[in-house]
Amino acid sequence: MTLPGSPHLAYRGPQLFVEGRSLNGLASEFGTPLYVYSKAAMLDALAAYQRALSGRDHLVCYAVKANSNLAVLQVFAQAGCGFDIVSSGELHRVLAAGGKPEKVVFSGIGKTRAEMRHALEVGVLCFNVESESELEVLSGVATELGRVARVSLRVNPDVDAGTHPYISTGLKGNKFGIAHERAVATYRRAAGLSGLEVVGIDCHIGSQITDTTPYLDALDRVLDLVEAVEAQGVPIHHLDLGGGLGITYTDEVPPSAEVLVRQLLARIDGRGHGHRKVVFEPGRSLVGNAGVLVTEVLYLKPGEQKNFCIVDAAMNDLARPAMYEAYMGIVPCARRDMPATRLDVVGPVCESGDWLGRDRDLAVVPGDHVAVLSAGAYGMSMASNYNSRGRAAEVLVSGEQAWLVREREDASALFKGEHLIT
């Protein structure tokens, strides 16, 4: 039986497997909580973008914030990807994993001067600039270094992506991007700054988007701006259409990456812009359904109003349910022939908001393992040490081979760098 989301996660008899390895076996070998990623699932997701873009001048830049593990970055670097980064730390990770700086776009609204210098020194492809004041600072930093910063302005198209308000980024009330009505004037200003070279335009409207309509609406507004900007004598060489494509967590039916990209390319061609390079910045859609979080059932606690399944993973390991009230599937790593009980799956952290799933029908006993599905994106990358809990280990699976790609944090790691007063 294959579970929704990835064909590389399936039951073989009673046991749940990721590719050629059982999750129970991995839990026994590496302990829990444990993030497990499928290399084949990541490459399958990337292939959908690559098929649609075949024959076009393009660059797929994996959004590092979705999952920044070095081995995950290495997989995408070896597959020819570029990278979308939002910090100097992410740039260090990309370079350590074998990524090429000339395939890196630097996004984010709060780049520091130090981060700008680092990116200029290694030679990133371009900066996605998000404010007029950032233009001035970046030009100054580039001039001091004797460099020219290639820039793409991120414009805010005021398009509702129809997603959770915390991950919507393309509305007037959001902090991201340059207002649509200020874009032409801002491009003229950028073209007049000696430390900058205008190379593109960028747009990103949100995350976990399950409909093509917002993308097409935003694209039309972007193409309107391209035509207006070039009429002012400022050439635009590439279109960066961002990322944000959703995945299936429960009953969502997002378009495939291939369908979405082909629709966008058809609109671009139809409006006479087919000669331009296109850039995409997918994150969740490449890694989300490639990962699971494996956790051990510690206790079953019946109650008058709720029955609880207490596990050893918590909100510090997986913040999405607590932060967004996000639904994530939870299934046993080995199915039992016994009646299921309706349970809230909760962790050990001292917060009532520490839950991974509510009202789940599970047939489990203490000592069993369960898998939280679709946990490859914004799982480990958002993990913390709250309650002085060490962060989980991470494993990458390819076929029957499994690599420990991040060691579990021990107690000494929790206060490394801290000092007692004397």
* Joined tokens for residue 28: 């026994």
Say if residue 278 is in the same domain as residue 139.
yes
Say if residue 240 is in the same domain as residue 368.
no
> pTM of the entire structure?
0.94
The residue out of 254, 282, 310 marking a domain boundary is 282
- Tens of pLDDT along 315-358? 999 999 999 899 999 999 999 999 999 999 999 999 989 999 99
Distance of CA 73 to the CA centre of its chain: 12
| pLDDT attached to residue 2 | 53
Say if residue 152 is in the same domain as residue 295.
no
- Tens of pLDDT along 104-160? 999 999 999 999 999 999 999 999 999 999 999 999 999 999 999 999 999 987 775
Number of domains in the chain: 2
- Of 61, 81, 333, 350, which is the active-site residue? 350
User: Catalytic: 309?
Assistant: no
- With respect to residue 350, please indicate whether it lies within any of the assigned structural domains: yes
| pLDDT confidence tier of residue 175, bands split at 50, 70 and 90 | low
* Polymer length of the chain: 422
| pLDDT attached to residue 156 | 85
| pLDDT confidence tier of residue 168, bands split at 50, 70 and 90 | very low
Say if residue 250 is in the same domain as residue 296.
no
| Rounded average pLDDT over 261-271 | 96
C-alpha distance from residue 170 to each of 205, 253, 263 (Å):
4, 22, 20
State the Cα–Cα distance between residues 3 and 143, nearest whole angstrom: 54
Give the mean pLDDT of the chain: 93
Say if residue 263 is in the same domain as residue 301.
no
| pLDDT confidence tier of residue 170, bands split at 50, 70 and 90 | very low
Taking the CB of residue 235, how many other CB atoms lie within 10 A of it?
A: 11
| Rounded average pLDDT over 73-96 | 98
- With respect to residue 173, please indicate whether it lies within any of the assigned structural domains: yes
- With respect to residue 96, please indicate whether it lies within any of the assigned structural domains: no
Say if residue 256 is in the same domain as residue 221.
yes
Say if residue 262 is in the same domain as residue 335.
no
The residue that leads in pLDDT, 180 or 409, is 409
Say if residue 295 is in the same domain as residue 278.
no
State the Cα–Cα distance between residues 315 and 392, nearest whole angstrom: 12
